[in-house]
Amino acid sequence: MPASEGPRRVTLLWQRPLLSDAEVVEALGIPPSLWAQLKSDGDTPPLFEIGRRLFCRTEDLRAWIDARAAQGRPGSRRHRNAQQRSNRETTDPGTRSTPAAAAQPINRKAKHEQTHAVEIPYR
């Protein structure tokens, strides 16, 4: 497919009433693995089967995109986890102590020696 057909095809996809799983991936411009992860997390627009194939209504896909944009959430676990860590670290100091990891550096070698060093007595 010539490079100029790609954008035209995506435009045509958005004009169809139904999109297959593969077409949703193409229309959104995301990797198939990301779409699979979103499906396993239950974080997709409503999907339904016709035969053995999954489909999504284009209007549901648009509404799903609009809802995600309104929430202002990128949707990645990494972003959510970073946000949760940030929230924990910025809590009121009077109600929560600082995280141990931030308070003390870990000496991994010393920790390893403590847990794995075994003294063998010689006779």
Sorted by where each begins, the domain ranges of the chain are 5-88
Residue 68: closest CA among 28, 22, 32: 28
Least confident of 4-18, 44-58, 75-89: 75-89
Least confident of 59-68, 76-85, 103-112: 103-112
Burial 74-93 (b: 16+ CB within 10 A, else e): eeeeeeeeeeeeeeeeeeee
- Over residues 15-55, the pLDDT tens digits come to 899 999 999 999 999 999 999 999 999 999 999 999 999 99
